[in-house]
Amino acid sequence: MAVVLSIKGLVKAYRPGVPVLKGIDLDFEERGLTAIIGSSGTGKSTLVRSVNRLVNPTEGSILFKGQELSRIEGKALREARRRIGMVFQEYNLVERLTVMENLLTGRLGYVGLFDAWLRRFPADDVAYAFRLLDVIGLAGFANQRADSLSGGQRQRVGIARALMQRPEILLADEPTSSLDPKTSVEIMELLKFQGIDHNIPVLVNIHDVDLARRFADRIIGMTGGTVVFDGPPEQLSDDHLKLIYGGEGWLQ
């Protein structure tokens, strides 16, 4: 399989001299779900957010389908972001808009300002949004306000919003951390199979090692801003986990 996303020597320091990411080198292929595991504060989030530049990297290169993302600005950055879908830990829906409006924000990069203001979106986009609502099991919720939904429902809308962009890659930053175990499994299933259906790679930050093992095609373990494990789930041993999370009491 061809490599679509290639990260080379990525460094991010929020404060000079205190890097959170210490030179990450990773390649991602055009299909499959990759889970990034590691304890809090180890730079998982920073890594994922560097890809769509919600975080500006300090050094290194991010090559996405032949385009260098790490230094672009303005229009080029917006156009790159349109191709990258993102799912957030706290869903980040616009609470006071309806479900449909939240989905259509995924198309804002393509719609003129005036049309966006009047909510005039191409019929294609609206039809696609209704299809996605069916897929995520929220048909009939189009005109509900986002703040009336439950956590799991919100995260489904969050995924649908990302898919509305017809993205070429899907990023998910701790998508299950605010959800109960059952809902977490449903959300991971949705991410996994949407990735397969749309033929795009999925990058998921996740705390839960069991969920990662169950759904990922590849696991990346991080600790202290560096990658310490990179391989298929079946190769991830307890020794690796000790290395990633430190200690071993929690493994019992």
User: For binding to other proteins (CB under 8 A), which residues are involved?
Assistant: 52, 54, 77-84, 86, 88, 90, 92-98, 100-101, 105-109, 111, 113, 116-117, 119, 123, 126-127, 129-130, 134, 139-140, 142, 158, 161-162, 165
Considering the complex, what minimum distance in angstroms separates the CB of residue 122 from other proteins? 11
Q: Which is nearer to other proteins, 64 or 88 (CB)?
A: 88
Distances (CA, A) of 77 to 116, 128, 165: 20, 25, 15
Please name every residue paired with 22 in a beta bridge, in sequence order, or none if there are none: 11
Considering the complex, what minimum distance in angstroms separates the CB of residue 51 from other proteins? 10
Q: Which is nearer to other proteins, 95 or 180 (CB)?
A: 95
Considering the complex, what minimum distance in angstroms separates the CB of residue 113 from other proteins? 5
Q: Which is nearer to other proteins, 94 or 243 (CB)?
A: 94
SS3 178: coil
Q: Which is nearer to other proteins, 165 or 209 (CB)?
A: 165
Cα separation, 192 vs 54, whole angstroms: 23
Please name every residue paired with 12 in a beta bridge, in sequence order, or none if there are none: 21
Considering the complex, what minimum distance in angstroms separates the CB of residue 181 from other proteins? 24
Considering the complex, what minimum distance in angstroms separates the CB of residue 190 from other proteins? 18
Return the number of other C-beta atoms located less than 10 Å from residue 55's C-beta. 17
Q: Which is nearer to other proteins, 4 or 157 (CB)?
A: 157
Q: Which is nearer to other proteins, 49 or 218 (CB)?
A: 49
Considering the complex, what minimum distance in angstroms separates the CB of residue 203 from other proteins? 14
The total number of residues written for the chain in this structure:
252
Q: Which is nearer to other proteins, 115 or 180 (CB)?
A: 115
CA end-to-end span of the chain, whole Å?
38
The set of long-range contacts for 135-143, using a CB threshold of 8 Å and a minimum separation of 24, is: 135/160, 135/194, 136/160, 136/190, 138/99, 141/99, 142/98, 142/99, 142/100, 143/98, 143/99, 143/100
Considering the complex, what minimum distance in angstroms separates the CB of residue 86 from other proteins? 4
Residues 6+ apart with CB under 8 A from 155: 87, 91, 175, 176, 178, 179, 183, 187
Structural contact between residues 208 and 176, judged by C-beta atoms closer than 8 angstroms: yes
Distances (CA, A) of 224 to 24, 104, 111, 177, 239: 11, 38, 41, 20, 17
